[in-house]
Structure 1
């Protein structure tokens, strides 16, 4: 076997090997456009080398011309792929020049197949023999093709394009890439032009394109191979980082997740997969993940996801999932939408935290708060007990007197039935009065969970006013209630809101205890604040809050009373904030204090 055959076969094998490797890279990652273009260029260079070997062995002008004709096709593929490789890999190069070179190389193929034997020679008159690497090779003799000028112009444009792209890459910081690729292509282009001219002059057996393009393929392959090495190192580093992140997130009872919106694929750290019982190897879609969420929380979570995608950007949700061992786990998730060109949502990425312990603590705290509030209500009713007993004595005494009168009437012959009916009606009315007093106390003292309902604020205040009526009379105080007729309803727990008003009214009565009778007037006012809130104000004319203590008035165990617990205002604050409102105190310019709190307006009156 001759040296020419060995060397050119080795060049072909190297080019095709490069092409195969980088084609596999592109098949694995379809966004690796530079690898695909390199594979095309290297593959075409391999075919070109084999065609050149065929030309070396041609014995007739026709055979040499046919080999040269197909070599021009391979050269066109190499050059076009090379142009777009430069643009994809270096991220530089003028687009109009790229299209100009592409169009010019395609145009060269017209005379190559239509008008002449090939684009290099207008006519090959003879084939002579010459020596290369100790072997005899064919050398064409003929007239140059006038269309060769297009090849030369295209080569000049390619040089300009590559130099410009290399400079652009250099300026952008890709100095090694720009220098390696740029210098290899420029050197190969100049060498190819020189060899082609020497071949036309009969000084070379061929353009030696195999050797020339091997320079480019080697440079391109070197750079892409370095990229593959760096990608491998990055993958290992990423795997190590992921392991570290996994350790950190597990220690913090949290995990990372990411939803690829276009592919509908959810990536989860191993910890999150373990929480929800999804195998590490299973592909997870959004619906698959949502199926792990308990039904009551599933739709609200889905709505939160799509609200973020449709323009909210931020995603927040808390939901329950059933673990593989049958327990319930609370998850708090929050994330951010990543958008691509034109604001199109591409990914939703965030963190999930196991907040089961927090939820349990909140539930226990709520039970303790409810118990404390119930005890405080009992304490408030205890303050009213003397007056409530007096209020009960009135209807009970009337019932007793009516019963004694009825007994005397029944002793008469015949008894006066009309009087008996009137007495029974009075007894029934007094019984209802006593029952109302008892029911009001029972409602405040009952151990119950919060029950939201829509109610009128005037009715709520009236009910509390009925509770404190006897206390007001005993203290010779008055209560003025001002509620507009068109005030929207509120939504909340009736007993808890009654407790807030009761606490505030008892505090106001206590503050006015040592005042003259004309200053013992209390006021409850309500007004609308905007479209969403109702403000309630309880005002007295007492000494007011100490200036240094007004900021801490709602802290637990803070009191100005000798026998106070310091829990009334603190519990009132907790109740108001649980209803989405705010409570604060202020001293009045004319004396006394006002405690104000807000509640959310219920626009739908029919939801109760």
Structure 2
């Protein structure tokens, strides 16, 4: 780019005086020397204060002065020698003018490129192979808080207190091998505030191929990293919160289920006391009552253990477990809620062993959510055809499945593609996160969860997971549970 600049008044006067002195010396001298070559000083001086156009005009003017001077001067020697000297002088002036213009254009291009680097918001700076800063743009000043004067000449990694993900020696080796490196740095601003930046390093080499300096570009991603960490924490909290919300919907069922063994134990204890008060004491009947107390106590302990395993905040535990056993535990946990709503439960489980590798509690959480949704979907059914069918088996692709089929109000065709999206719900209340988290759990186990309409009414939810090990694929005959 040609940036037009005009010499100031003093520079113009100095160049004019110098040109006139050379013209006078070239005109009056009788020495056999090419005095006109001194005009190159005027050309070089114009390059310092003017633009390429100014240098071109000055060069042309100097050649014109040299020709005029030669025409006014009586040659002291042979005419041919005078012509040769004049041609040499003019060629010298022209060559210096061309070289000066090229140099000036290169300088202007570099200056323009540097001005563009000043306009960018990205932090851009260069440092030599000892790490000392050579250039520092405004983006670097804004990002790190060090002005250019404070940064130039300082070792960049010391100035910014850089913390490397990989050792600096490995980064330098990578630069020498591939001329570039990309990664992240943790640094500190002038005020001590931490910054995380993406970094792009590019190695520059001299004409001999030796490493001369490194160009570094930084982008501040501190806020993005903070938001990603917060999002990950929120996801973790939502998974646990959904686990608690699901159990919250089962609170009434659990309370009812706990009241049954407790009431039975109190009845059996009263009966045992009565049998012991007989004269003589009815020891056999008292022992039978006490045995019933033990059975009911064990049943209560099982309920508490299942609830505790679902609500405690524990990391994901992978292991092999039997599908049917896990489904039976969930059925036992939800049976009283099913009965209280007048729902007929059908249990159709694969007859042979069917093992899955994964987190048993998380998968059970998905199944509980599917059953709870099915129960809620049948609240509006007024006839006696409230049927909930829980099925396990292996599909045609060799995947294990756990399926919940209901005869409730069903799912609208328009809602089917969006059921498992976050914050999408068909209910008047709720956070609409349950099915979205169920999908996340299924995908984390290498499987999927699907929904479709049941015929003639209701819905079908199916959780499909990879099989760890299974034997025959025969299914147990359907029976009432």
Taking structure 1 as the reference length, what is the TM-score of the superposition? 0.46
Distance 2:219 2:259 in 1: 61
Q: Which residue of the partner structure matches residue 280 of structure 1?
A: 151
The alpha-carbon deviation at position 405 of structure 1 amounts to: 6.7
Distance 2:189 2:437 in 1: 38
2:402 is the counterpart of 1:548: no
Q: Encode CA deviations 1:518-563: one digit per residue, 9 max, x unaligned.
A: 9531335688999xxx9966442546421122233345665445x6
Maintained 8 Å contact 2:132/2:153: no
Q: Which residue of the partner structure matches residue 344 of structure 2?
A: 476
The 3-state SS of whatever aligns with 1:7 is: coil
The alpha-carbon deviation at position 229 of structure 1 amounts to: 1.7
Matched ranges for 1:42-57 at <5 A: none
Distance 1:375 1:499 in 2: 12
Distance 2:170 2:463 in 1: 32
Maintained 8 Å contact 1:309/1:337: no
Q: Which residue of the partner structure matches residue 240 of structure 1?
A: 115
Maintained 8 Å contact 1:378/1:445: yes
Q: Which residue of the partner structure matches residue 152 of structure 1?
A: none
Q: Which moved more, 1:235-244 or 1:582-591?
A: 582-591
Q: Which moved more, 1:221-230 or 1:257-266?
A: 257-266
2:33 is the counterpart of 1:7: yes
* Alignment CA distance shift 1:235-1:391 (3 Å): same
Q: Which residue of the partner structure matches residue 451 of structure 1?
A: 315
Distance 1:133 1:516 in 2: 131
Maintained 8 Å contact 1:522/1:541: no
Q: Which residue of the partner structure matches residue 103 of structure 2?
A: 228
* Alignment CA distance shift 1:537-1:437 (3 Å): closer
Matched ranges for 1:555-574 at <5 A: 558-561=424-427, 564-565=429-430, 567-569=432-434, 571-572=436-437
The alpha-carbon deviation at position 230 of structure 1 amounts to: 1.8
* Alignment CA distance shift 1:517-1:205 (3 Å): same
* Match of residue 352, structure 1, among 202, 219, 229: 219
Q: Which residue of the partner structure matches residue 358 of structure 2?
A: 489
The 3-state SS of whatever aligns with 1:522 is: strand
* Alignment CA distance shift 1:7-1:372 (3 Å): same
Maintained 8 Å contact 1:472/1:478: no
Distance 1:547 1:259 in 2: 60
* Alignment CA distance shift 1:582-1:236 (3 Å): farther
* Match of residue 162, structure 2, among 263, 267, 292: 292
Q: Encode CA deviations 1:261-287: one digit per residue, 9 max, x unaligned.
A: 9998897754446645775225567x7
Q: Encode CA deviations 1:99-138: one digit per residue, 9 max, x unaligned.
A: xxxxxxxxxxxxxxxxxxxxxxxxxxxxxxxxx94269xx
Distance 1:274 1:565 in 2: 46
The alpha-carbon deviation at position 223 of structure 1 amounts to: 2.7
By relative contact order (CA 8 Å, sep 6+), the higher-ranking structure is 2
The 3-state SS of whatever aligns with 1:477 is: strand
Matched ranges for 1:195-594 at <5 A: 217-245=92-120, 249=121, 255-257=122-124, 269-272=137-140, 275=143, 280-282=151-153, 292-293=162-163, 298-299=165-166, 321-331=187-197, 333=198, 352-356=219-223, 358=224, 377-397=243-263, 399-400=265-266, 403=269, 430-445=296-311, 448=313, 451-456=315-320, 458=322, 461-462=326-327, 464-472=330-338, 474=340, 475-480=343-348, 485=354, 487-489=356-358, 498-511=364-377, 514=381, 520-523=388-391, 538-542=403-407, 544-554=410-420, 558-561=424-427, 564-565=429-430, 567-569=432-434, 571-572=436-437, 575-576=440-441, 585-587=450-452, 593-594=459-460
* Alignment CA distance shift 1:551-1:518 (3 Å): closer
Q: How many residues are aligned here?
A: 393
Distance 1:261 1:529 in 2: 61
* Alignment CA distance shift 1:472-1:262 (3 Å): farther
Q: Encode CA deviations 1:490-540: one digit per residue, 9 max, x unaligned.
A: 6xxx7666544322221134345648769531335688999xxx9966442
Supply the RMSD in Å over aligned alpha carbons. Answer: 6.2
Q: Structure 1, unaligned stretches of length 5 or more?
A: 22-131, 137-202, 250-254, 603-608
The 3-state SS of whatever aligns with 1:520 is: strand
Distance 1:410 1:438 in 2: 31
* Alignment CA distance shift 1:412-1:566 (3 Å): same
Q: Structure 2, unaligned stretches of length 5 or more?
A: 1-24, 48-73, 206-210, 469-481
Distance 2:353 2:226 in 1: 42
Q: Encode CA deviations 1:301-358: one digit per residue, 9 max, x unaligned.
A: 99999999999x99576x7555554544454x37698999xxxx998876513442x5
